Chain A
């Protein structure tokens, strides 16, 4: 187990380093630099600022310097545009994204797992068809259509819900629904598929033959196996939810990380882009690991195969 964990963590480091390499050279290949847009700053001041940020060093030196700073000093450098440490910017913006992502995930799970399980139990009935049709709507109607529709349809009618903003806890409701809907849709389809496969297994028939109630068969025997595809999906999806909600954050004016990312790229704010990309990558790697461990817990056969391999 420990060896498996160690090798996975090592792999995670490799992934992050690959991500850093790709992002670094892409950022360098972007036309312009952080000071191109600043018309008010005289040329020689710009030159000094470039010098101070280390942007005049040879490319390869810059490439090696950043990981050195990160690993040895734990410093992710400064945002060139905002003149603040990258860590501080992320620490300030992450909580909002995190809360929004968690709420969206809870909403998605609460909605999708029951729909998926019931659809599988009543396969090819009207319950199944309508459940899956709703799931398809969730996949096909993008968040930037659902979000505004919720704003006009619900926020303008229900007095306690605001159209946009992030002041009181109730403000989480609409963005969380908007963000969680697509995840819920995929999750419902996966749950249905997983449950259908498990329900056709022999051991479920045996349980039925013993005269167990449907509820008990579901909870004790079927869910554990049937939820494997969903759990494998939730891990990476969670990372996307807490990080990738650029659009939902901009619709509902949530002060999260999405705005920083888009602005940082537009501004060519190199260190901020690198810091954010690495932070996202870190979340994805961690969540993938957690999901894999959970799947191993749910399905002993996977666990053994991985430990041997």
Chain B
């Protein structure tokens, strides 16, 4: 191939192309509310997952120091059993956020696979799979979550007891995990419906494009074409949607814990702190208000960040 000399175009004239991710980031940076949310969220995550390690044990009870006001020792005072409120909020936040993130991950896994397979197969299997989703949609969510949670909690507790007996694992540690795993599974297992629909719609629009044809002509297997070539193109949208499900899952966990069906002691979560705080509303409103504030600020940031991400990744938005 001979070299073409471009004598009238210099390097300075060339405008560098920008990738989709970079474009989106630039747009997101202009969205002030989304950026504030991003910083707030980062702050809460650092508090809960880094600062918490340097705090006092949230389960140390000191009945002589009940309902203490904020001091140098207890930054936000103490609760009805003299436990440090600040470290309880941070440790509770760990669980709340873990449930939100892990359950969303479970949702992504099931929703994307289900939607992808359904959309790619098309025809009768597709309409059957989507009919199942329609049916599940009509079923009241919280009702099933509660029953399923009780069932899975029973299984997981048995399993935990078995590992303690046979492997000699640390009992306290195992049961602490056994207590929150059912929540991940339950919420994730029932929350994937919308995601499956979104993914399927995208697969339908992608699967007839030329690059898929090219992959097929190379003799690749269906599974490889679907999960290596088609699905990666849908992940962006799925992640944006997932950002918006995290806050709703955190809210679900809190509602379940509030009803006494969520995490149990020694674990705690924001839902439990709020519930306990509500009992001392008249004498000590800060026990309700401070955890409520942390909870709401986190939900607020996740929602605004999700909205901002959706706007930033919207292909309809102009490239300005």
Q: A244-B140, A246-B142, A280-B143 are in contact. Are A31 and B135 (CB under 8 A)?
A: no
B144 at the interface (CB under 8 A from A): yes
Residue tally, chain B, CB below 8 Å to A: 39
| A262 and B146 within 8 A (CB) | yes
Q: Which chain A residues border B251 with CB–CB below 8 Å?
A: 142
Residues of A within 8 A of B274 (CB): 142, 144-145
**CB-CB contacts below 8 Å: B122-147 with A:** 135-136, 138-140, 142-144, 146-147
A222-274 with Cβ < 8 A to chain B: 239-240, 243-244, 246-247, 250-251, 261-262, 265, 273
Chain B contact residues: over half helix, strand or loop, or mixed?
helix
Tell me if B142 and A141 are in contact (CB < 8 A): no
CB atoms of A281 and B282 under 8 A apart: no
Evaluate contact between A246 and B154: CB separation under 8 angstroms: no
Query: Are B140 and A277 in contact, CB atoms less than 8 angstroms apart?
Result: yes
- Choice from B142, B278, B281, B300 contacting A244 with Cβ under 8 Å: B142
Asked if A284 CB lies within 8 Å of chain B CBs, one says yes
Contacts of B161 in A (CB 8 A): none
Task: Tell me whether A265 and B254 are in contact in the complex, defined as CB-CB below 8 angstroms, given that A281-B139, A285-B138 are known contacts.
Answer: no
B236 within 8 A of A: no
Q: Is B197 an interface residue (CB 8 A)?
A: no
Instruction: Please count the residue pairs between chain A and chain B whose beta carbons lie under 8 angstroms apart in the complex.
Output: 112
Interface string of B283-320 (1 = CB under 8 A from A): 00100110010011001100110000000000000000
Query: Most chain-A CB neighbours within 10 Å: which of B247, B261, B278, B295?
Result: B278
Q: Does A154 contact B (CB under 8 A)?
A: no
Chain B CB within 10 Å, residue with most, of A18, A148, A239, A243: A148
Q: Name which residue of chain A comes closest to B251, CB basis.
A: A142
Residues of B within 8 A of A26 (CB): 144, 147-148, 151
Residues of B within 8 A of A147 (CB): 278
> With A30-B151, A140-B299, A288-B138 in contact, do A148 and B288 touch (Cβ < 8 Å)?
yes
Tell me the minimal C-beta distance from A13 to chain B in angstroms. Answer: 11
CA of A280 to CA of B144, assembled, Å: 11
Quick check: A139 and B255 within 8 Å, CB to CB? no
- Please measure, in the bound complex, the distance between the C-alpha atom of A277 and the C-alpha atom of B255, giving whole angstroms: 18
- Shortest CB-to-CB span from A53 to chain B, Å, is 19
Give every chain A residue within 8 A of B281 (Cβ-Cβ).
148, 151-152
Measured between C-beta atoms, what is the minimum distance from A200 to chain B in Å? 13
Q: Nearest 6 A-B pairs (CB), nearest first?
A: A31-B154, A140-B299, A145-B292, A15-B138, A280-B140, A148-B278
**Are A18 and B295 within 8 A (Cβ)?**
no
**Contact among B143, B278, B300 for A261, CB-based, below 8 A:** B143
7 contacts between A and B (CB under 8 A): A140-B247, A141-B296, A144-B254, A144-B255, A144-B274, A145-B288, A152-B285
Task: Summarize A's interface: helix, strand, loop or mixed.
Answer: helix
Are A262 and B258 within 8 A (Cβ)?
no
Residues of A at the B interface (CB closer than 8 Å) are: 12, 14-15, 18-19, 22-23, 26-27, 29-31, 136-137, 139-142, 144-145, 147-149, 151-152, 156, 239-240, 243-244, 246-247, 250-251, 261-262, 265, 273, 276-277, 280-281, 284-285, 288
| CA of A31 to CA of B154, assembled, Å | 6
B298: nearest chain-A partner, CB-CB: A140
CB neighbours (8 Å) of A22 from chain B are: 139, 144
Closest to B285 in A: A152
CB-based nearest B residue for A139: B303
Residue in B140, B148, B151 whose beta carbon sits within 8 Å of that of A284 in the complex:
B140
Which of chain A's residues have a CB closer than 8 A to the CB of B151?
A: 26, 29-31
Contact of A136 with B147 at beta-carbon distance under 8 Å, contacts A18-B139, A144-B274, A281-B138 already known: no
Complex Cα gap A267–B244 (Å): 35
**B11 to nearest A CB, angstroms?**
41
Q: Is the CB of B139 within 8 A of A250?
A: no
Most interface-central of A18, A145, A281 (chain B CB within 10 A): A145
A15, B136: Cα distance in complex, Å: 8
Residues in B with CB closer than 8 Å to A141 are: 292, 296
Q: Is the CB of B147 within 8 A of A23?
A: yes
State whether B296 touches A145 (Cβ < 8 A): yes
CB of A19 within 8 A of CB of B139, answer yes
With a cutoff of 8 Å between Cβ atoms, the chain B residues found around residue A19 in the complex are: 138-139
Contact B282 A30 (CB under 8 A): no
A22 to B148, CA, bound (A): 10
Digitize B99-127: 1 where CB-to-A-CB distance is under 8 Å, 0 elsewhere.
00000000000000000000000000000
**Which residues in A have their C-beta under 8 angstroms from that of B147?**
23, 26-27, 30, 265, 273, 277
Chain A contacts of B303 at CB under 8 A? 136, 139-140
Taken together as a complex, chains A and B put the C-alpha atoms of A246 and B304 apart, in Å, by: 28
Minimal beta-carbon separation of B210 from chain A (angstroms): 31
Q: How far is the CB of B195 from chain A (nearest CB, A)?
A: 18
> Closest Cβ of chain A: how far from B295's Cβ, in Å?
7
* Smallest CB separation, B5 vs chain A (Å): 50
In the assembly, what is the distance between CA of A281 and CA of B140, in Å? 6
Q: From known contacts A26-B147, A30-B150, A140-B303, infer whether A262 and B259 are also in contact, taking CB-CB under 8 Å.
A: yes
* Cα distance A247–B147 in the bound complex, in angstroms: 17
**In the complex, given contacts A15-B139, A23-B147, A147-B278, what are 18 additional A-B residue pairs having Cβ atoms less than 8 angstroms apart?**
A14-B135, A18-B135, A22-B144, A26-B147, A26-B151, A30-B150, A136-B303, A136-B304, A139-B299, A144-B271, A144-B275, A151-B281, A246-B142, A247-B255, A247-B259, A261-B143, A273-B147, A280-B140
